[in-house]
Structure 1
Amino acid sequence: MHHNLVSVRAAAAAIVLVTALGGRTAFAQAELTGSWGATNNEDLSGDSLPVDYTGLALTDEARVRALSYNESQLAMIERQCQGWPAFYFAQGPFGLKIWSDIDQTKGEVVSYTVGAWEDRAPLVIWMDNRPHPSELAEHTRRGFTTGHWEGNTLVAYTTHMKAGFVRKTGPPNSDRATMTARFHRHRAILPVLAVVEDPIYLAEPFILTKSFQLTTQELATNGPPCVSAYQGRVPGESVPHYIPEQNTGRR
């Protein structure tokens, strides 16, 4: 009888412990859905200065490509709507609209979505433990992202991004680049830390930080559509570029 009583008490204690831990885990998962306005406190002025690669540990190949880049490429009709990589959400001046998709049967979050903008695709963060696709799978602007919780921080890992640029002035990223983003809510403030790694063009990780503030102003889930128009260059023209040692950064 005494042995059975001890077993019952041990089982009850285990249930209480599991329940407490489960409740603690659920409590730790911060609410991220809603409209978040950009505070724009970060200094991103260098993003528009030619031949200014401060803070970027570029490989030699990346620097050569960056110095050959001419921003007039963006006037070409076929390039006006090419968009930016997934990590642009932590670089641009816009806010974030975040919502979740929930499995109605299990009551669990299947994914979070960070809404799109005119030149940025939506970022879907899968939370259902699905694996990343094969390296040979299609690469897109938004890439493929999975997420998990570390305490009250949502950690999102992105692969399968198309080759593009880490800044508007030409430093490139390859299609082997990855991003690890951390969303850590502190009351009405949502700081985001994004770490971009690229074995081809970055000798060291590229680190981005940006803060957002919860707002009652409802943000759109998608920005205005990108519409190509004539901007001085006709289809079929050669791609504007600089030859070696010609790009001095002068306008």
Structure 2
Amino acid sequence: MSLLKTAALVLLLVLLSAPAFAQFDLSGTWASRSNQDDMERGAGPDPVDYLGLPLNDEGRAKALSYNYSMLSLPEYQCGYLTPFYIVLGPFGLRIWSELDPVTGRVIAWKIGGWVDRDVTTIWVDGRPHPSPNAPHTYGGFTTGVWEGDTLTAYTTHMKASMIRRNGAPVSDQATMTMHIMRHGDFLTIRAVILDPVYFSEPYVRSRVWMRDPTVNLGNGVSSPCEPIAELPPSDTASVVPHYLPGKNPFVNELTEKHNIPREAVLGGAETMYPEYREKLTGYVPPAICKRYCGCGGLGVPCITDGSGIPR
């Protein structure tokens, strides 16, 4: 073999193998470990619980207008949550790669859909994001690059949806950055979402999954959905369920049940930080646990007296 051919072969091998030093194999099934944000990943939050959300005035007003009966409307029955719900929802993940049919290189990583969200495709082949005027989808449009051992993914073009299952909103102008890291059998995803419409600061969440090939997560395709008329015809059939400003009946529920100040319940950027606890002077925990005790089998002990000690 000539020297020129040898050099060309060596160069080709280097080019083909270089990305392998930085990339982890993310494929497989990853089981949910609901040891964080227990209410989010179980029974769900209270109707008006915006603690820890950086809602601005517009976001708070939008959230307070939400009525759960909206989900009975045919146009809302098949709506999904945005990819940010990956780090908030109660389910595991199924991840696989998409290969270029000619070169065999990974051109995308796919995080499978489920009953609550669409498939998230992370393109790693260098393609650009589409025009801001391009159609938005529930899955959004995501590109990714490897930064050392971390896959950093940037998502745009998401439809308006909820950041929390009680109607706390996220707009179609929101963007998200995910940092995906694998440590052996553990997968960590940290997500940062920016919403210039409803948030005053970035919102950050992280979550950990554990590799488990026995978990059944289907084929990774979002569950089929066919909207139906759930309510009988009536004079109010054309009304979209909602609450007018100042009319949400649940606005004081968390305060009455858990003694949490109303201004904290309504959220805001300052409620995200530990220092906010210093403002809750005179807070007295409720004497008896009447709700979420045992929490439907999630392993939360019940507090039956005012001692704060699980019984």
Under TM normalisation by the shorter chain, which class is it? 0.7 to 0.9
Task: Work out whether 1:29 is the aligned partner of 2:23.
Answer: yes
Measure, in 2, the Cα distance between the counterparts of 1:236 and 1:132: 40
Measure, in 1, the Cα distance between the counterparts of 2:145 and 2:51: 32
The percent identity for this pair of structures is 44
1:177-231 deviations in Å (ceiling 9; x for gaps): 0010111001100011111101111101111211111112253222532233443
TM-score, reference length from structure 1: 0.86
How far apart are residue 55 of structure 1 and its match? Answer: 0.9
Task: Work out whether 1:219 is the aligned partner of 2:217.
Answer: yes
1:18-41 deviations in Å (ceiling 9; x for gaps): 95x996752231110111111111
- Aligned residue in 1 for 2:57: 60
Matches for 1:5-154 after TM superposition, within 5 Å: 25-45=19-39, 47-154=44-151
Runs of 4+ in 1 over 4 A off after TM superposition: 21-25, 233-236
Task: Check conservation: 1:182, 1:194, Cα contact below 8 A.
Answer: yes
- Aligned residue in 1 for 2:293: none
Task: Check conservation: 1:41, 1:211, Cα contact below 8 A.
Answer: no
Q: Which amino acid aligns with 1:150?
A: E
Q: Which structure shows the higher strand fraction? A: 1
TM-score, reference length from structure 2: 0.70
- Aligned residue in 1 for 2:245: 244
Q: How many residues get paired?
A: 236
Unaligned runs of 5+ in 2: 1-6, 255-311
Measure, in 1, the Cα distance between the counterparts of 2:154 and 2:57: 27
Unaligned runs of 5+ in 1: 1-11
- 162-171 or 140-149, which deviates more: 162-171
- Aligned residue in 1 for 2:188: 191
- 209-218 or 93-102, which deviates more: 209-218
The structure showing larger relative contact order (alpha-carbon pairs under 8 Å, at least 6 residues apart) is 1
